[in-house]
Amino acid sequence: MEYKLIVSDMDGTLLGDNHKITKENKIALSKALQKGVKIVPASGRIYNSAREHFDFLDINTPLIACNGAIIKETKTNRLIYKNSIPNDICLKIIDVFEKNKIYYQLYSENTMMCKNLSKEDKKKTQERLKNFFNDDINIHFGDDLKEEVGKHQILKIIAIDDHDMDKLKRVKSELNEIEDIETTSSWFNNVEIMHKGVNKGEALKELVKYLGIQREEVIAFGDNYNDLDMLKFAGMGVVMGNADDAVKKQGDYVTSTNIENGVAKAIYKFLEV
């Protein structure tokens, strides 16, 4: 099969442990681009945070952000697709989080809104975000994020707990009672919520129609549960060696880990660049 589109997750896939695209992955992507293959990032991150990593390619490419809730072009900022969470549903989700006293964040197109639980939590969050965002990303800290729902179109909501898995399980169970939402996870410590029908796979369906490409001509890369719909839709779903075994079983091919340049190795194998 001659692949015409590479679509790849970022954290745990294209990015190394320093949260930057590895040198070998950059080289492989550049070679694929020179061969005429389109390159599309597909991230759970907000749009601006994902876009900054692809400046080295110097191309105008669609970018899937917020787990598929939005697709925009990186140079022109042209909007291709957007599916936000209705305000009333956002408020129901926040009620679940407040009841369970769990830390959470709201994502709009270019802003991350973080719940303040304590001064210590704020400091920890600021340190955590330094690994993911540059100074150009809008980050808002607040005690009452319900006020922000009316000011922004919320694309994704995420709850995080590094220690209390029982609390996280309880939150997931209560979220299941809310209609018209989609839930997934990008790491063991979180639950991510989008509007019903939003996931990377559905975004990829929209994208191939937009680009005039067949699904069989797509090779997709991912490492976690929020990548599964995308991996299944693509003609070739490549799972990273650092993924959970349950994720690996649902891919077409397992490559090396993200720190071993697994994306580059699979590109060389399947695209012959």
Distance CA 103, CA 1 (A): 45
Q: What are phi and psi of 21, to 5 degrees?
A: -65, 130
* Residue 237 β-bridge partners: 220
The two tokens of residue 193 are 């919520």
Contacts within 8 Å (CB) and 24+ apart, 46-49: 46/107, 46/108, 46/109, 46/110, 46/111, 46/112, 46/137, 46/155, 47/72, 47/109, 47/110, 48/110, 48/136, 48/137, 49/132, 49/133, 49/134, 49/137
d(CA 180, CA 197): 8
Which listed residue (9, 161, 223, 227) is catalytic? 9
Q: Is 9 a catalytic residue?
A: yes
Q: Cα 116 vs. chain centroid, distance in angstroms? A: 23
Residue with tokens 């209560």: 174
Catalytic annotation, residues: 9
